Amino acid sequence: MNAVGVIVEYNPFHNGHAYHMEQAKQASGAEIVIAAMSGNFLQRGEPALVSKWKRTEMALKAGADIVFELPYQFAAQQADIFASGAVSILEAAGCRSLCFGSESGQMNSFRQTLSFLEKQNDTYQNRVKFHLDEGCSYPKATSLAFCDIQPESDMVDLSKPNNILGFQYLKSARNQNASLNVLTVARKNAGYHDEQFSSDTIASATSIRKALFSENGEIEAIRQYVPETTYSGLIEYKETFGGFHHWEDYWPLLKYRLIHLLPEQLETIYEMEEGLEHRFLSAALQAETFQQFMELIKTKRYTWTRLQRACVHILTNTAKEEMPSEPSKASYLRLLGMTKIGREYLNKHKADLPLPLISRVSSRVSDHLHLDIKASRVYAMGVKGRQQQILLEQEFKQPPIMI
């Protein structure tokens, strides 16, 4: 069986994702789709709307055949490390191709950009350093540096965040000598960060989340943008757990943590750079909400996303030495769910998988999964009472979702 891999967060799964999976199958000629999906905390440094188990169920019901967890050490990370972990999982899972969505849908532009940047690397890095020294954030500095080196017209514009992940997938595949073929298909409507609905059926996950959290946030309002299975899944989750996970639910915990840690303890946390710890502490003492806190700590030097990720690491007590600080490969395949066809595929390939396949967390494997287990437990603290216990216990009790 020929499998195509996709790298996703599905927060939540919407029509654009379904369209992407179809296109990926077509472009690659694959029969099955394997998703490397972020766990409970996401790349933007946010808790996922609903748990990874519910998101797995939604993905499987809408076309994915196998879902592996992108472990915390890659999921809550900057683009290059995120990409390296995800690509290594899809490669290890035996995917013949990896397919991502882009505006142009032209793989050639990505390849040319990569070659060009490899050749111009010294100049490019100098320009990045120059802009960092000017006080820009890292993404801003790379974006400006890219413009400085005058890319040719048939390249992708890496000053647009949309294109950066795709570029990093290609780069990771090349650096890892992956045998999978990297493909891209054109996205349908809706930019990645659009906050407004602009089509009848396709909307960005950002605009969907915004609608769900709006003042009289009725799930009904997003119905047309998501498969029926997402719609009913969201309703069910909200009924069971009392709502969707939101940073504000974790704010009392983050605030508590910030006010009882010494600056030198805060400094051991991943992505906490020197100088940030005093800023974080003084903001925590002033802010009543997470939003207020973020506004107090935001500077030109750090993006909102980067600061939110630091907050996630503080919340999960993740130390610098626990995280890869540069692109690297995953060390296990954590199976979150599969369809019948996905199961056939796995049965066939199980013996040749280069990484351990973990379908159930036990004390035997829990050391490897330490960060994922901790992240899931902290994620559970966002809900109250009996429901919290369900989420707390799920990490050890939940078998892979089968549909």
Annotated binding site: 7-20, 101, 162, 187
Identify the CA nearest to 90 among candidates 161, 11, 179, 198: 179
The secondary structure element, H or E, covering residue 337 is strand 333-338
Using CB under 8 A as the binding criterion, the count of chain residues that bind a copy of itself stands at: 23
| In the complex, least distance from residue 75 CB atom to a copy of itself, rounded to whole angstroms | 17
Q: Is 385 or 399 the residue whose CB approaches a copy of itself more closely? A: 385
| In the complex, least distance from residue 378 CB atom to a copy of itself, rounded to whole angstroms | 6
- Rounded Cα distance between 104 and 101, Å, is 9
Is residue 236 part of the contact set for a copy of itself (CB under 8 A)?
no
Annotated binding site for ATP: 7-20, 101, 162, 187
Is residue 381 part of the contact set for a copy of itself (CB under 8 A)?
yes
- Rounded Cα distance between 276 and 307, Å, is 10
| In the complex, least distance from residue 360 CB atom to a copy of itself, rounded to whole angstroms | 17
Of 65-73, 108-116, 252-260, 333-341: span binding a copy of itself (CB under 8 A)? 252-260
Of 47-55, 198-206, 259-267, 340-348: span binding a copy of itself (CB under 8 A)? 259-267
Sequence-distant contacts of 398-401: CB under 8 A, at least 24 apart: 398/53, 399/359, 399/360, 400/335, 400/336, 400/337, 400/338, 400/359, 400/360, 401/53, 401/56, 401/57, 401/60, 401/67, 401/336, 401/337, 401/338
| In the complex, least distance from residue 290 CB atom to a copy of itself, rounded to whole angstroms | 14
| Cis preceding-peptide flag for 12 (omega within 30 of 0) | yes
Q: Is 349 or 377 the residue whose CB approaches a copy of itself more closely? A: 377
- Rounded Cα distance between 363 and 379, Å, is 20
| In the complex, least distance from residue 281 CB atom to a copy of itself, rounded to whole angstroms | 10
246, 388, 394, 403: which one binds a copy of itself (CB under 8 A) = 388
Q: Is 57 or 372 the residue whose CB approaches a copy of itself more closely? A: 372
Helix (H, G, I), strand (E, B) or coil at 215: coil
Is residue 378 part of the contact set for a copy of itself (CB under 8 A)?
yes
- Rounded Cα distance between 116 and 26, Å, is 29
Is residue 393 part of the contact set for a copy of itself (CB under 8 A)?
yes
Residues 6+ apart with CB under 8 A from 268: 319, 320
Footprint of a copy of itself on this chain (CB under 8 A)? 252-253, 255-256, 259-261, 285-286, 288, 316-317, 374, 377-378, 380-381, 385-386, 388-389, 392-393
